[in-house]
Chain A
Amino acid sequence: MIIGTRSLTLRDDDGDKEIQIRLHAPEKAPVDWVCRFEIDWPEGRAERWGAGMDGIDAVLAALKLIGAEINASDYKKSGRLVWLAPGRGFGFPVPNNIRDLLEGDDARYL
């Protein structure tokens, strides 16, 4: 069950392309909890999941992994990936060790 989506825009000479992110409800796994998510990159869909001690931990892990995937991507480095406004960030938390990749409102508020 999808519990949240976010659409980013990849600006290109050929026009804008939507990069949709979908977050699923956390699920109980045999050992822990997992929370799946998908990112529709232009080259294909990335299907990943975050794992945690409980459902909330799994959701937090998934959100951080989404933030890591986006902020470490070449699309973000190129400056063509936009959420609400160019250079203002994407609204996803990231693990502490890559906070230097955050920009705009992400660096200020997250």
Chain B
Amino acid sequence: MIGIFPALGISVMIRWKPQVSIPSDLQSLRLAHAALRREWEAVKREYYARKAGFDPNQPRVPAGSSEGGQWTDAGGDNTTPSTFTDARNSRGTPGMRDASSESGESVRSEAYRDLPIILAAGRKPSQAYCWNQLHIDSLLCNSLSPGRLQWACRSQAMERYSACISGKPLPPLPF
């Protein structure tokens, strides 16, 4: 978790630890875990698309070299591979952004474009997926100030969650 959200690491750990319940049935726990892992991958794609204009179709360096698996330039030039972190830093620090700025508009456009990823194959997002989405939105909201903005963000995050479980997902929050 810290590796994924280095800027938000502490609050993530504290928020998640006491709130996860462990079902008594080990098998159901395993099934739930597997489902969440799959959905978490989709959530991460959305997160990076929203935060950094990350392109999930960006090619990787082929296996067999020390840099195998890392992201590379879209044009196929393997001389300057970048990692998740590099891609994020080169396009702006995660967290708050000016929604009215040109970069903000660009990131938002990418997020809209990535909406089909969330709705992979036209399926309705699961409860677990929507719940994870609400968590990520809440992390974003917690990073905002002043409190008035945070409150507005939370309200919109709840609307987004409601839309998600209703089968009518909304694009990422405009913060």
A contact set with B: CB distance below 8 Å: 29-32, 34, 36, 44, 46-53, 57, 61, 64-65, 68-69, 72, 94-98, 101
Contact = CB atoms under 8 A, between A and B. Distances in A.
Contacts of B165: 68-69, 72
B1 to A, nearest CB: 15
Given A30-B14, A53-B151, A61-B154, A46 B127 contact: yes
Contact of B166 (A44, A48, A96, A98): A98
Interface of B: 11, 14-15, 19, 21, 23, 28, 127, 131, 138, 142, 147, 150-151, 154-155, 158-159, 161-163, 165-167, 170
Main SS at interface, chain A:
mixed
Contacts of A72: 162, 165-167
Given A65-B161, A68-B161, A101 B166 contact: yes
A80 to B, nearest CB: 18
Contacts of B150: 53
